[in-house]
């Protein structure tokens, strides 16, 4: 089973996983029933919360890439994606819900950074997640959307529209990562695959940024934060 929920909405499912074998955002792996589970990173460090609560393996936290966002319009649209957000005729702009979706928070931040949030705020159509935001544009419910570059480059979508990449300095970094919930050799092997050259080439092909130190740089700081969160959680449970 797979879940397309936003990062924050996935947390309750993972805390009570009786009915699911796998929770994912942009990746999944389940070589054996119940053997491997991953949860994607969100802007608020959702995997860190799971580790602090004792649900995820403490030393399994990893960051493998950074997401990017684009302005996307259907191929049949007369809109130029580079200027669509400033076009007066646009009535609806789709983004993921910024209250619980990292890509939605990035989209909102970009609109503010580009100085056009006030002019489009009344036009926003919020999707449960970034995939639903894309669907809103595909279905005609929105004229334009701010979505993940990885979705725009995905084979089913690649030929359906045109996009303009939002400058990366217009929004906070969208970290992509995960944590192993049920440890096993297969889980460790899959994590290694994401971090090695083959995995990185695939991720880059589908629109993720891959700084050389993306997988390692945040681990020490994350480990310290996890320790603090874990202590706080234990104290709150007493």
Look at residue 19 and tell me whether its pLDDT is greater than 70.
no
Task: Compute how many other C-beta atoms are within 10 angstroms of the C-beta atom of residue 12.
Answer: 10
- Taking all residues of the chain, what is their mean pLDDT, rounded to a whole number? 76
Nearest to 59 by CA among 226, 234, 193, 176: 226
| Structure-token pair, residue 7 | 């990062």
Nearest to 129 by CA among 103, 164, 159: 103
The band of 236, judged by pLDDT with boundaries at 50, 70 and 90, is low
Q: What is the model's pLDDT at position 176?
A: 81
Distance CA 238, CA 235 (A): 5
Look at residue 43 and tell me whether its pLDDT is greater than 70.
no
List the chain domain ranges.
7-66+172-237, 69-165
CATH, range 7-66+172-237? 3.40.190.10
Continuous segment of H or E residues that includes residue 8: helix 7-15
DSSP string, 126-168: EESSHHHHHHHHHTTS-SEEEEEHHHHTSHHHHTTEEEEEPPG
Model confidence over 87-117: pLDDT tens digits?
999 999 999 999 988 899 999 999 999 999 9
CATH, range 69-165? 3.40.190.10
């Amino acid at each position: 089973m797979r879940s397309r929920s936003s990062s924050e909405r996935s947390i309750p499912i993972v805390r009570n996983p009786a009915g699911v074998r796998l929770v994912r955002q942009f990746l999944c792996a389940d070589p054996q029933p119940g053997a491997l589970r991953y949860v994607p990173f969100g802007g608020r460090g959702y995997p860190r919360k799971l580790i602090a609560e004792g649900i995820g393996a403490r030393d399994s936290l990893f960051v493998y890439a950074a997401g990017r966002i684009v302005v996307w319009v259907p191929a049949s649209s007369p809109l130029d994606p580079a200027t669509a957000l400033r076009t007066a005729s646009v009535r609806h702009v789709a983004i993921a819900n910024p209250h619980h979706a990292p890509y939605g928070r990035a989209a909102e931040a970009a609109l503010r950074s580009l100085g056009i949030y006030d002019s489009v705020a009344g036009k926003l159509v919020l999707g449960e997640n970034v995939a639903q935001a894309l669907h809103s544009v595909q279905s005609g419910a929105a004229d334009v959307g701010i979505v993940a570059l990885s979705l725009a480059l995905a084979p089913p979508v690649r030929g359906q529209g045109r996009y303009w990449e939002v400058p990366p300095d217009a929004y906070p970094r969208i970290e992509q990562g995960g944590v192993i919930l049920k440890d096993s050799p297969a889980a460790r092997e899959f994590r290694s695959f994401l971090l090695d050259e083959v995995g990185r080439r695939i991720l880059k092909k589908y629109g993720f940024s891959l700084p050389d130190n993306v997988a390692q740089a945040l681990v020490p700081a994350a480990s310290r934060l996890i320790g603090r969160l874990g202590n706080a959680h234990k104290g709150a449970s007493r």
